[in-house]
Amino acid sequence: MNRRNLLLSLGAATLGLLGLPRQAFSMGGTLPELNVAAPGFTLPGVVPSADGAIEAERSLTDFQGQWLVLYFYPRDFTEGCTIEAKGFQRDLERFHALNAEVVGVSADDTDSHKEFCGSEALSYPLLSDPGGQTSKRYGSWIPPFSQRHTFLIDPEGVLRETWLGVRPLGHSQEILKRLEELQAGG
């Protein structure tokens, strides 16, 4: 653990011991709190379809009534990001069976997302956050990239789970397991 993380951890722990409200921090900023409304967003992106990828905006409210796996990642076409994206694609039918949608967010532009969706046969939306405004609201921004964090949002728009510094291999399975637990009341 580096010095900054150690100081942040000690500071947060001290506030908790003093009975003061704890603020969750990550390397990319302040994390949103669990069990409260997830930060809203509206971002341009790419939505793959049978006719090819189309450019469209997507907002948090577009996913109301279903679970949302909102994952932030550094760059299209990099090794870890490709592994993570393919994992979500592999498990996409299982997510859909659980009334969940998967959406990826990075600082890449929509042209890059179109190419990435095409080359990896991705069939879920990838959104573009070049200035990191949404990534910042989710504590996932260290310029010029979004950090590898994932957020699980329930059908009412409430943030239910957070994964930080994700390891791409097997991450999709980890989220599926937690989603099943939450849906079972756990």
Q: Which of 70, 81, 100, 103 is catalytic?
A: 81
Give CA–CA dist 38/31, Å, rounded: 10
The C-alpha angle 121, 125, 126, rounded to 5 degrees, equals 90
Q: What share of the chain is helix, strand, coil (3-state, %, to 5)?
A: 35, 25, 40
**Is residue 123 a contact partner of residue 91, using CB atoms and an 8 Å limit?**
no
Structure tokens at 146: 């979004």
Distance between CA atoms of residues 136 and 146, nearest Å: 8
Annotated catalytic residue 117:
no
75: its two tokens: 């760059």
Q: Alpha-carbon distance 126 to 70, whole Å? A: 10
Active site residues per annotation = 81
